[in-house]
Structure 1
Amino acid sequence: MSNEDDNAVQHAGLSRSAVVIGGGITGLATAGLLAREGYTVTLLEKQPVVGGRAGLWESQGFRFDTGPSWYLMPEVFDHFFRLMGTSAFDQLDLVRLDPGYRVFFEGEPQPIAITSDRQENIDLFESLEPTSGLRLSRYLDSATDTYEMAKKRFLYSTFESFRPLLRWDVLKRLPTLARLLLQSLDRRAAGTVRDDRLRQILGYPAVFLGSSPFTTPSMYHLMSHLDMTDGVYYPMGGFTTIIDRIATLATDAGVEIRTSSAVDRIVVDDGKVTGVQFANGNYLAADLVVSTADLHHSETQLLPEKYQTYPEKYWRSRTSGPGAMLLYLGVEGDLPELEHHTLLFARDWRANFDAIFGAETRIPDTASLYICKPSGVDPAVAPEGHSNVFVLVPIPADPSLTDLDALGDRVIDQIAEWVGIPDLASRIVLRRTVGPADFERDLNAWKGSALGPAHVLKQSAFFRGTNKSRKVEGLLYAGSSSIPGIGLPMCLISAELVIKRLRGDTSTEALPEPAVASAMRDERRTDTERAS
């Protein structure tokens, strides 16, 4: 038996049972890691298939990823796969996108393309705004430093103890960290570039975080390291391939996956979890329950009030991420005007975000939106001679916004005009619309949010909450509404934090990888060096 196996027995005990609620990427990853930790694991998913937000919709030969579509932070994916005894190299066929994305601006004749090469992006900024190249270089240096610090000290921490944060590399950065937390991302961008287009490019990653650049802390300028330096990737077959691979690894590790199994209640006896109950009254016992469902739903719907760490009154002061109208479009013919990732930005940036996040929310008059066209890289996602187009329009998180067809018509016309595809509407052969009410019904999402609680200051890092119930022994949480936050890489880290919590591991670093996986990585590095 290996040292890793010894640790698994020590930390979990081979006879212990665990139930994981939710079959999205977090639930599948958590279940797989728990099984390797020695637990007997049952995963329960209320839908007929796993995937959650990262689902799959197929119709008339088209295959649509229903949610996440940006593959960023590749090292986080690879680290998770290595924890499972394999690697991203073995599990996925990744393509690096170049350009990473193209941006169209309201009233501007020419789009701007961001590449996967840092120096090319610096040169691009310089060509559009003299002297901005040097400022962008410094911005990206800071973004890289902040990103590496976040990975080393914050993202992989349960914040069960703050003593591990009292390191010199953190302490010497305290003045900088304070400034990054108190300054908005938009203000940081405005201090770097004057051109409104470039300012929007630096500020838009706030949307990945379910927030507005005017309220997102500038610490998250680290996101620009991901797209401008690290590059943007795509897993061939779509993001559902990631779900399929992780589900297979989980079942191979011994996890039992039960779909069409909605949990009605987390059962607690004298402050200790004993299992879960289904809507039909059936009961499944467990020593440990990990809910990767929406945290608001888990707390306010699955637990009696006296056992709620985050009761309804807590959520009244929280800030939700945006809702979204999603359009899945099957289009006849090619669409060379669109990159794999294409962004359309409205001129009045602040008004656009105020409409979504302000006191009086409404659908923006002119939408800023995102388009994904995976068929340009992956012909398997659309019938021959057709294009697969996914459109995401941020709107208020409001399940009452149900009649979105008229908005969809406006958005299609907007894309046709801005991008230069005048016959787009007439070429659409398949169309489906999804909105906040669907997110609330299918995913139990708080307020119908497409992402989860926004990454404003009071909901970032240790302010985001705890992944352990304070009132129920044996109940843990994971997922985009828990720590560390929104996005597929964060969800994989969230699964790992469950294991760290169970082990009592208060370190800030990622878990050590199994020796076999590390050897695989070193062998591939050697092979690459030989080939070059």
Structure 2
Amino acid sequence: MSRTALVIGGGISGLATAALLARDGWRVDLHEAADEVGGRAGSWESDGFRFDTGPSWYLMPEVFDHFFRLCGTTAAQQLDLIPLTPAYRVYPEPDGDASSTPIDVVSGRAQARELFESREPGAGARLDEYLDSAHDAYELAVSRFLYDTYASTKGLRSPAVAGQLPRLAPLLTRSLHDHVARRFSDPVLRQILGYPAVFLGSSPFDAPSLYHLMSHLDLDEGVLYPQGGFTEVIAAVARVAEAQGATLHTSSPVAEILTQDARAIGIRLADGTVHEADIVVSSADLHATETTMLPASLQTYPQRWWRRRNPGPGALLLLLGVEGELPELAHHTLLFARDWQKNFGDVFGRDTRIPDPASLYVCRPSATDPTVAPVGSENLFVLVPMPADPSLGRGGIGGEGAPLIEEAADRVIAQIAAWTGIPDLAARIRVRRTIAPADFEADLGAWRGGALGLAHTLAQSAVFRPRNASRKVGGLFYAGTSVLPGIGLPMCLISAELVVKRLRGDDGAARLPEPSGVGAGRGVGPGRDDA
């Protein structure tokens, strides 16, 4: 008889887990509460505009390709990936009323070195050393840390890791900000190297400097965009999961994980329907999984565990459909407030508030993708890191969100207009929707309304992050942003692989071996090349 698995949650980690389990011969049913799969990587449409409501940076492409290869296909077959030039544009906070002078960051070592040297004599050579270190740290992370389940200390005891300890120790104990500040004086260059901490749900003042490895991704490797948007990434992973034989159920919220003798035996849906299985994998928010789907006696991470945890930032999202073109904005544009430390203190400090002015991010996918906005119009996705505090209220459509949220959105629109030289931006907006921490809590079950997942502080990274298996319930596993290895679509794909490694009894640090003859045999979905 075939082994049976139930997967809770249809975000990318749940879909990837379903695909890999089915590939391993499990009979898999996935249950997603919403009407569509995607989770944080959702989508929303209005008046001819289609918005991604979550991730928008395609980084670590080899992780996506590895996942697809495990399933007998490739990223090239499943997605139409476009390199972005520039990788992103930066607008520093201007002096006075004039708009800021934009800085285009172009990927590639020579281009990055030239940019740094143009702003600070000698910075080009120092950037070479910085990026060499970032590359080495990235390779170490991929080969020794990200794919380790930490079910044993085998990986940590390997000579390859032990030999790196003298170099790792300062990278783990020094903040990313301090690491950068020791090497560069120009404030904008410091911000370019420090902002990736936000991708990790953290602040450059809190994230360990080991995470300088992130600069290898955007400055050395480059940034890609999946044509059609990130909804195409979700569609591809869902397509692959179904091709392996997994069955996906939407509008199917799970109320309870059923156990017997401290072992998972199935789930109970909100409508009372019971489904039994040999194992259960929850890719839902870990806090919600543990505190609402299990009895207190079987919670590995009970409510008291969460009291001292950092939820990462919340976010104010603005989805704006704008009439007319916006060449002032690149596909990715970052606005950096001058008082960097105060800005992050507003989000992560003791006395939190919505920053004003804010360091924020604007995605203009219509710069690359004609399918996301009507002809002659632009699609803008704006992300403003803010405290993870649902009490600030929910967003809404057409300015109908909570007053505090809509007032902040108005300030953000005015800030973008002033800093980038688009004085009539507000008057040209035809579609407007805001999303706030209370929406993340209500719609995604996100703990404290966090937009990304548990922050990557030292105490919440690698061996210190929640594991992919319950310590109290046999046959119960976890995937997603709350657990190993962490935040972001690539990390979610790896978290799915860690579940499979545990089931195979693989306690090594290496990624799973890819099958030979990739692209042939069972499980190849209808790829982009076949369209």
TM-score w.r.t. length of structure 2: 0.94
Counterpart of 1:99 in structure 2 is 86
Q: Structure 2 residue aligned with 1:152, among 143, 147, 156?
A: 143
What do residues 420-459 of structure 1 show as CA deviations (whole Å, max 9, x unaligned)? 0000001000000000111001100000000011000000
TM-aligned CA deviation for residue 507 of structure 1: 1.0
Aligned equivalent of 1:413: 414
Supply the distance in 2 between the matched residues of 1:213 and 1:119 (Cα, whole angstroms): 25
Deviation at 1:317, TM superposition (A): 0.8
Describe the SS at the equivalent of 1:130: coil
Structure 2 residue 341 is matched with structure 1 residue 350? yes
RMSD: 1.1
Matches within 5 A, 1:156-171: 156-171=147-162
1:306 alignment counterpart = 297
Does the 8 Å contact 2:73/2:519 carry over to 1?
no
The aligned residue for residue 17 of structure 1 is 4
- The separation in 2 between residues aligned to 1:329 and 1:465, in whole angstroms, is 36
Partner residue, 1:525: none
Q: Partner of 1:38 in structure 2?
A: 25
Counterpart secondary structure, 1:389: strand
Asked if residue 189 in structure 1 is aligned to residue 185 in structure 2, the reply is no
**1:61 pairs with 2:61:** no
AA aligned to 1:133 is: G
The answer for the alignment partner of 1:359 in structure 2 is: 350
Measured against aligned partners, the alpha-carbon deviations of 1:249-300 in whole angstroms (never above 9, x if no partner) come to 1111111111111100001111011100112221110110000000011001
Q: Report the residue type matching 1:168 in the other structure.
A: P
Flag structure 1 segments of 5+ consecutive residues without an equivalent: 1-13, 521-532
CA shift for structure 1 position 165 = 2.9
Tell me what 2:283 maps to: 292
Paired residue type of 2:33 = K
Secondary structure of 1:42's aligned partner: strand
Per-residue CA shift, 1:40-91, capped at 9, x if unaligned?
Answer: 1000000000000101101111111110000000000000000010001100
What is the CA distance between 1:365 and its match in structure 2? 2.3
The code of the aligned residue for 2:21 comes to L
Partner of 1:389: 380
2:125 and 2:134 map into 1 onto residues whose CA distance is: 14
Does 2:484 correspond to 1:497?
Answer: no
Instruction: State how far apart, in whole Å, the 1-side matches of 2:488 and 2:166 are.
Output: 28
User: Using the alignment, how far apart are the partners of 1:279 and 1:124 within structure 2?
Assistant: 55
Paired residue for 1:123?
114
Distance 1:149 1:518, change over 3 A: farther
Residues in 2 aligned to 1:130 and 1:406: alpha-carbon distance in whole angstroms: 42
Q: Distance in 1 between matches of 2:374 and 2:146?
A: 41
Q: Deviations over 1:115-154 (max 9, x none)?
A: 1211111111011000111111100000000000100000
Change (3 A) 1:28 1:341: same
* Correspondence 1:478-493 to 2 at 5 A: 478-493=479-494
Residue matched to 2:525: none
1:84 is aligned to 71
Say which SS state the counterpart of residue 250 (structure 1) adopts: helix
CA deviations 1:154-194 (Å, max 9, x no partner) are: 00000111123323322121011111000000001101100
Equivalence for 1:457:
458
Taking structure 1 as the reference length, the TM-score comes to 0.94
Please name the residue that 2:396 is paired with: none
1:526 alignment counterpart? none
Structure 1 residue identity aligned to 2:22:
A
2:260 aligned residue: 269
Instruction: Give the Cα separation in 1 of the matches to 2:385 and 2:209.
Output: 21
Partner of 1:317: 308
* Residues 148 and 508 in structure 2, CA contact (< 8 A), matched pair in contact too: yes
- 1:193-208 → structure 2 map (5 Å cutoff): 193-208=184-199
In structure 2, what residue type is equivalent to 1:179? P
Query: Greater CA deviation, 162-171 or 236-245?
Result: 162-171
User: Within 5 Å, which residues of 2 pair with 1:467-482?
Assistant: 467-482=468-483
Q: Match of 2:33, SS?
A: coil
- 2:215 equivalent in structure 1: 224
Instruction: Verify the 8 A CA contact 2:389 2:449 in the aligned structure 1.
Output: yes
Distance 1:86 1:124 in 2: 38
Question: Counterpart in 1 of 2:511?
Answer: 510
Letter in 1 for 2:506: D
Aligned to 1:141: 132
> Mapping of 1:367-446 within 5 angstroms?
367-402=358-393, 403=402, 404-446=405-447
**Distance apart, 1:518 and its partner CA:** 8.3
For the 8 Å contact 2:266–2:275, the answer to whether it is kept is yes
Equivalent residues of 2:72, 2:520 under 8 A apart: no
Q: Give the aligned length.
A: 507
After superposition, give the CA deviation of every residue in 1:166-224 in whole Å (9 maximum; x if it has no partner).
23322121011111000000001101100111111110000000000000000000000
Q: What CA distance in whole angstroms lies between the structure 2 residues aligned with 1:29 and 1:171?
A: 32
Q: Report runs of 4+ in structure 1 exceeding 6 Å deviation.
A: none
